[in-house]
Amino acid sequence: MTKNPQKPLKPAAHPLDDLIRTERIPHIWCPGCGIGTVFSSTLKAIKGTGIPYDRFTMVSGIGCSARGAGYVKLDSFHTTHGRAIPFASGIKMANPDLNVIVFSGDGDLFAIGGNHFIHAARRNMDLTVVCVNNLTYGMTGGQVAATTPNRAKTTTTPFGNPDAPFNLPLMASASGASYVARWTILHTRDLTDSINEAMAKKGFSFIEVLSPCPINYGRRNKEKPLDTLKLYQERTIIKNGADPARADIDFDRGVILGKFVDIDRQTCDSMYNSVCRPCSDD
Amino acid sequence: MKPAVLTGEHYITGDVACAEGALAAGCRFFGAYPITPATEIAEHMAERLPDVGGTFIQMEDEIAAMASILGAAWTGVKSMTATSGPGFSLMMENLGLGVCTETPCVIVNVQRTGPSTGLPTLTGQGDMMQARWGSHGDYEIIALAPSSPQDCFYHTIQAFNLSEKYRVPVLVMADEIVGHMSEKVVIPKASTISLVDRPKPSGRKDRFKLYQPGPNGVAPMPAIGEGYNVHVTGLTHDERGYPAMSVEAQEQMMTNLKGKIRNNLEDIIETESYRLEDAEIVIVSYGISVRTGLTAVDEARKLGYKAGLLRLVTVWPFPEEQIRELAARVKGLITIEINLGQVHYEVERCAGGQAPAHLVGSAGGKIIHPDKVIALIKEKF
């Protein structure tokens, strides 16, 4: 008899299993959500560095994306809402040898945590910040965020959003980030390469990843899961080196993806060493 | 380059003594945000930390300052911040994270008068209940109250030791007068200062459980990069540190968080007494108000009242047993504090009607004059 088990007795090992707390799977993310894709790109990028895993740590705030820190098999920190960056800054400044990744969402990093973001960028804190931007507060059921497009419907803007959203690459660049890029979850190879490059980059690196939230955002804006992905495919254009001032998210005009900023500037910890610490021959 | 422990006699402020105490305790990370009357602690640390291999960073607000010292603590260093009322309010959020994740760190609050911006340059003791309950949820915390610059030095060391031993944020509740006054501070030889370091794990890393309590109820704590792959969350978590959304997990976590303090009260609580042996009137005080109390005791004795003083070095956890015992044998208790009744209500609760509990308080801004205490003694006893 030829066996055709519908379910293999033992599931084949996933190539990223060594970076995942498999005992915590299944994860909490909804069907159609893009966070898992960003998460696996991040893990692939970590793997791709060849650096031992104990040299990495992941810090997150609060929200759907922030749960990533609970699934990664690294020293990982799920902190308070908006505070991942200052928590991570404490880690980095106390032990500059660590590669510190902040993995969180747009609501966490840019509304409640917006002040921390701009200051860490200003200081060129050597962090890699991966922001899953789903344009809404997913975990609390889809409220308006600092990234929600003007006129979009959410549970707290039932008549449409009267406000304008942030242009995240522009904010990062204007605040002093060393590396700024934007991708979507449809551009996984570019995204993985970009995160890998950002981790190797000394200084504040920021990667925005557009990611659908069909349950809590798409549903209220007549955008089915595949519609969002089609927008990512058809209404985006990759323009490395583009002016971040032109990076507004407007799918009618087209959305720019790619690497906006890649500059070299002294990091916060290296500046502290050279400015504040006594010279060895003092 | 100055050494970490500045052995010798100094004439320094309480703020500077806090900073020197921290350095002597092994503090090597300070997350700062300026605020009157605590700024001098940050200024002193900014100058001193690089010399001893430590790191100082002034963050963008007190929320970030508090977050940064938690992050730093997980790299294995001893970390601290210092603030006053408005900043203390902002730190409450991440203070709760520190409690929940059992992260050792020290927060100095050089109290001024509130509410809100209040009297920034004048003294107060109005943050005592905030120290106890300021972050949301139910928890235990340790708070010490220095009465002099010398105390600032020692209590900051003690705060680090307790924090490391019990893996809990420890509060040093100073005030503007103690922080800004200059007095003689004796710093002993480094070898005579006893320091405590957090319990470290041993054994198989793959079997390690982050919140499995040790013999005294405190779990060992690895640092980032030691290969334990810890997951640290402010969500209710199980012994592995993993989020556990259940009533049972909540109960177990709270049992551990409360137990490690409540079951070690004898080790944690410290009080001092003055002429208490035969006292019939007991003045209870802490921080700068102890000085009012000491004078009041002597004055009252001169007038024929058998007065004594109990100084609360540790205000939280509260020395309930000691107050109960005193209440059973004295004519009355008087709490002196620069607020209109906070610790006083704790004294009253513990006295439990066995003896009347009175308050000599003030709205804040200056030290309470001993005459106010004498007047109350004359009126009530």
Q: What's the per-residue H, E or C state across chain A?
A: CCCCCCCCCCCCCCCCHHHECHHHCCCCCCCCCCHHHHHHHHHHHHHHHCCCHHHEEEEECCCCHHHHHHHECCEEEECCCCCHHHHHHHHHHHCCCCEEEEEEEHHHHHHHCHHHHHHHHHHCCCEEEEEEECCEECCCCCEECCCCCCCCCECCECCCCCCCCCCHHHHHHHHCCCEEEEEECCCHHHHHHHHHHHHHCCCCEEEEEECCCCCCCHHHHCCCHHHHHHHHHHCEEECCCCCHHHCCCCCCCCEEEEEEEECCCCCHHHHHHHHHCCCCCC
pLDDT, mean of residues B326-350:
98
**pLDDT per residue over B237-295, tens digit each?**
999 999 999 999 999 999 999 999 999 999 999 999 999 999 999 999 999 999 999 99
- Chain A: closest CA distance from residue B185 (Å): 27
Kindly state whether residue A8 falls inside one of the protein's structural domains. no
Q: Which of B229, B235, B238, B245 to mutate to test the interface with A (most CBs of A within 10 A)?
A: B229
Supply the pLDDT for residue A278. Answer: 84
**Within a domain: A276:** no
Mean pLDDT calculated for residue range B314-343 = 98
A221-270: per-residue pLDDT in tens? 999 989 999 999 999 999 999 999 999 999 999 999 999 999 999 999 99
pLDDT at B376: 98
Q: Show residues of chain B in contact with A78, CB under 8 Å.
A: 231-235, 243
Q: Is residue A66 part of a domain?
A: yes
Q: Which CATH number fits domain B8-192: 3.40.50.300, 3.30.390.30, 3.40.50.970, 3.30.420.40?
A: 3.40.50.970
Beta carbons of B67 and A83 less than 8 Å apart: yes
Residues of chain B with Cβ-Cβ distance to A77 below 8 Å are: 71, 74, 231-233
Report yes or no on A128 lying in a domain: yes
| Residue ranges of chain B that CATH labels 3.40.50.970 | 8-192
Domain assignment present for residue A282? The answer is: no
Q: Calculate mean pLDDT across residues A140-149.
A: 98
B206 at the A interface (CB within 8 A)?
no
pLDDT score of A12 more than 80: no
pLDDT greater than 70 at residue A45: yes
Domain B271-380 belongs to what architecture? 3-Layer(aba) Sandwich (3.40)
The pLDDT value recorded for residue B68 is: 98
Task: Evaluate whether residue A277 is within a structural domain.
Answer: no
Q: Tell me where in chain B the CATH 3.40.50.920 domain(s) lie.
A: 271-380
Could you tell me if B93 lies within 8 Å of chain A, comparing CB atoms? yes
Number of domains in chain A: 1
Asked if pLDDT for residue A5 goes beyond 90, the answer is no
Specify the pLDDT at position A1. 54
| pLDDT (tens digit per residue) in B214-253 | 999 999 999 999 999 999 999 999 999 999 999 999 999 9
Mutate to test the interface with A, among B1, B63, B69, B237 (most CBs of A within 10 A): B63
> Which residues does chain A have within 8 Å of residue B93's beta carbon, measured at their own beta carbons?
80, 83
**Average per-residue pLDDT for chain B:** 98
How large is the average pLDDT for residues A169-182? 98
B95 touches chain A (CB under 8 A): no
pLDDT-above-70 percentage for chain A: 96
Q: DSSP letter at B237? A: B
- Set of chain A residues whose Cβ sits within 8 Å of the Cβ of B45: none
Give the pLDDT score at A13: 85
As a whole number, mean pLDDT of residues B151-161 equals 98
Please say if the pLDDT value at position A272 is more than 70.
yes
Q: How confident is the model at residue A280 (pLDDT cuts 50, 70, 90)?
A: low
Contact between chains at B1 and A282 (C-beta distance less than 8 A): yes
Residues B8-31 have a mean pLDDT of 98
pLDDT band at A8 (very low <50, low <70, confident <90, very high): low
Return the pLDDT at B1. 81
Q: Which residue of A has its CA nearest to B223?
A: A75
User: Which residues in chain B have Cβ-Cβ distances shorter than 8 Å to A282?
Assistant: 1
| pLDDT-based confidence at residue B186 (cuts at 50, 70, 90) | very high
Q: What is the CATH number of the domain that holds A213?
A: 3.40.50.970
State the residue range of the domain holding A101.
Answer: 20-266
Q: How far is B209 from chain A (nearest CA, A)?
A: 13
pLDDT of the residue at A281: 53
Residue of A nearest to B1 (CA): A278
Does B66 or A4 have the greater pLDDT score? B66
State which residue of chain B sits closest to A55, comparing Cα positions.
Answer: B225
Contact between B68 and A87 using a beta-carbon 8 Å cutoff: yes
Residue A206 lies in a domain: yes
Q: Is residue A4 part of a domain?
A: no
- Cβ separation A69–B231 shorter than 8 A: yes
